[in-house]
């Protein structure tokens, strides 16, 4: 039960929020606009709902969604404005139409394997990762990372806001992470999981340390390109796992 962890984290975050608001009011000589905050939170909630509806379509077989679009369309971006809300609604409508036509994620390849990506994306090699997985018919249909920004809260309620962010999986116990991954594996009919341990974002690599399958681990750094022989490493690991499965 993570209730105690969330409450403790939320209390500390609320004090930080209050301090930041006082600082901004002093610097700008303006009062904090809670009515404007309420408007932005309402739009943000709607944006998150459309994003979640879109990504849940990946439960369908074949998935109409290439999971790397979750990294391209992160709900952390533009979530508080109307353009973001419109974008994700249009994305949902496009994916829903693909699903109705039973179309997979790619026009020139078949979805053979369905995986989850744990940890943040390998941003310097996003295209390489996508193309290599696609070559083997591997589609990333779920990920713990982009979904962690699907955060909703009651509008104009700072306490609800901090509770929501305190519930982020990086602030939770390993027991929660295990249960969450197990549910994703069942809901999305996974064939496997890639644990990406990123040296530059340590909070997002916690689960990777508990993997008992070292062949499923990928190590990288977001900011240091030189440590990669990424394409060769990913090809080798995928080929080994698929041939031995």
Per residue in 221-238, pLDDT tens? 444 444 444 555 555 455
pLDDT at residue 140 is higher than 80: yes
Instruction: Give pLDDT, residue 228.
Output: 46
DSSP H helical ranges for the chain: 3-28, 34-56, 68-72, 82-100, 126-135, 144-147, 158-166, 174-187, 230-243
Indicate the average pLDDT of the chain. Answer: 82
Instruction: Give pLDDT, residue 165.
Output: 86
Per residue in 40-55, pLDDT tens? 999 999 999 999 999 9
Per residue in 146-177, pLDDT tens? 887 888 888 888 888 888 888 887 777 778 88
Instruction: Give pLDDT, residue 122.
Output: 81
Angle 101-51-105 from CA coordinates, rounded to 5°? 35
């Amino acid at each position: 039960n993570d209730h105690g962890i969330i409450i403790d984290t939320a209390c500390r975050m609320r004090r930080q929020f209050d301090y930041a608001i006082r600082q901004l009011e002093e610097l700008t000589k303006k009062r904090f606009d809670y009515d404007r905050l309420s408007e932005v939170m309402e739009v943000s909630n709607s944006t998150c709902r459309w994003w979640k509806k879109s990504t849940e379509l990946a439960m369908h077989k074949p998935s109409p969604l290439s999971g790397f679009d979750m990294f391209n369309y992160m709900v952390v971006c533009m979530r508080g404005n109307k353009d973001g809300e419109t974008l994700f609604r249009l994305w949902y409508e496009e994916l829903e139409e693909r699903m109705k036509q039973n179309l997979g994620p790619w026009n020139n390849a078949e979805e053979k394997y369905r995986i989850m990506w744990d940890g943040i994306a390998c941003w310097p090699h996003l295209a390489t990762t996508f193309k290599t997985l696609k070559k083997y018919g591997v589609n990333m249909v779920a990920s713990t990372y982009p979904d962690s920004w699907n955060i909703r809260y009651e509008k104009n309620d700072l306490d609800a806001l901090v509770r929501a962010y305190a519930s982020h999986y990086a602030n939770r116990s390993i027991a929660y992470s295990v249960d969450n991954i197990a549910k994703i594996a069942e809901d999305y009919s996974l064939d496997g999981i890639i644990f990406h341990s990123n040296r530059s974002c340590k909070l997002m690599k916690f689960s990777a340390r508990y993997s008992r399958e070292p062949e499923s681990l990928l190590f990288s750094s977001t900011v240091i390109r030189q440590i990669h022989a990424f394409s060769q490493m990913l090809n080798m690991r995928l080929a080994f796992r698929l041939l031995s499965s």
